[in-house]
């Protein structure tokens, strides 16, 4: 088996150390970096995504595969033609003010990063003003807001209001999610998209970036 095939397996099995080493070995042996990404690395991630969606693997396998992909990309990226490794997009993410829950947000962050997005995580209990500041400073394509408590839902609306008051609402697409969030609520507060799970969030983010046709959860 050549290194490229082994690289596919290393990514699929989440072995970051092997993935990095095999990518280097393949490059040293004259493999085409662009071809390697297209024919081995991306298909490996697609396969692990497919397995997850079918219920054949869990989040840890998915995240470990993402970590292995990153290790291989670190080797390959400098050799690719300019523009070939552009980010899928930039996202600012945070849990809204008053809410300390972060596992859902962290999962969305990890999955977005695995999908090639640059993610700026503002953490938990983030005041609206800090989201506004980050939109101005980081100039993200997408702002992702998370909440787990019913009583912190209104902070999502306050954040959108603050973006409007600061006249930056038009600069960014806003995506919302979390246990008490509904599509209806997302519509009411004027969010651009809503997802009830991390993987849906990635699809939405891609749709918002114009990669895929808009789906029903994108306004």
Binding positions for other proteins, rule: CB under 8 A: 55-60, 63-64, 98-100, 102-103, 106-107, 110, 123-125, 149-151, 153-155, 158, 180, 197
Query: Nearer Cβ to other proteins, position 37 or 71?
Result: 71
Q: Cβ 214 to other proteins, closest distance in Å?
A: 25
Query: Nearer Cβ to other proteins, position 84 or 103?
Result: 103
Q: Write out the two tokens for 81.
A: 């033609």
Measure the CA–CA gap between 131 and 160, rounded to whole angstroms. Answer: 9
Q: Cβ 200 to other proteins, closest distance in Å?
A: 12
Q: How many Cβ atoms are within 10 Å of 199's Cβ, its own excluded?
A: 17
Q: Cβ 156 to other proteins, closest distance in Å?
A: 10
Q: Cβ 110 to other proteins, closest distance in Å?
A: 7
Query: Nearer Cβ to other proteins, position 120 or 171?
Result: 120
Alpha helix locations (H) across the chain?
3-12, 16-28, 33-36, 42-54, 59-76, 103-114, 128-138, 153-165, 183-189, 198-208
| Closest alpha carbon to 87 in 211, 215, 171 | 211
Query: In whole angstroms, how far apart are CA 32 and each of 4, 10, 36, 61?
Result: 10, 18, 6, 27
Q: Cβ 164 to other proteins, closest distance in Å?
A: 17
Q: Cβ 157 to other proteins, closest distance in Å?
A: 9
Q: Write out the two tokens for 39.
A: 């024919």
CB 186, CB 177: distance < 8 Å? no
CB 35, CB 70: distance < 8 Å? no
Query: Nearer Cβ to other proteins, position 3 or 195?
Result: 195
Q: Cβ 18 to other proteins, closest distance in Å?
A: 17
Helix or strand (DSSP H, E) at 94: strand 89-95
Query: Nearer Cβ to other proteins, position 3 or 159?
Result: 159
Measure the CA–CA gap between 79 and 69, rounded to whole angstroms. Answer: 16
Query: Nearer Cβ to other proteins, position 31 or 124?
Result: 124
Query: Nearer Cβ to other proteins, position 32 or 199?
Result: 199
């Amino acid at each position: 088996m050549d290194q490229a095939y082994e690289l596919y397996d290393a990514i699929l099995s989440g072995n970051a150390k092997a993935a990095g080493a095999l990518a280097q070995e393949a490059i040293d042996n004259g493999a085409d970096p662009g071809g390697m990404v297209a024919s081995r690395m991306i298909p490996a991630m697609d396969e692990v995504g497919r397995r997850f969606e079918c219920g054949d693997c869990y989040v840890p396998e998915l995240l470990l595969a993402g970590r292995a992909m990153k290790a291989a990309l670190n080797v390959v990226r400098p050799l690719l033609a300019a523009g070939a490794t552009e980010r899928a997009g930039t996202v600012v993410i945070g849990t809204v003010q008053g809410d300390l829950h972060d596992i859902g947000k962290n999962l969305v962050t990890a999955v977005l990063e695995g999908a090639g997005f640059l993610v700026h995580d503002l953490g938990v209990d983030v005041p609206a003003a800090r989201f506004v500041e980050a939109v101005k400073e980081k100039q993200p394509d997408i702002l992702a807001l998370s909440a787990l408590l019913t009583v912190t839902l209104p902070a999502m609306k306050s954040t959108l209001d603050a973006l409007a008051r600061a006249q930056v609402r038009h600069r960014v697409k806003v995506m919302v999610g979390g246990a008490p969030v509904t599509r209806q609520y997302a519509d009411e507060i004027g969010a651009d998209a809503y997802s009830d799970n991390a993987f849906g969030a990635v699809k939405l983010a891609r749709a918002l970036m114009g990669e895929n046709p808009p789906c029903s959860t994108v306004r």
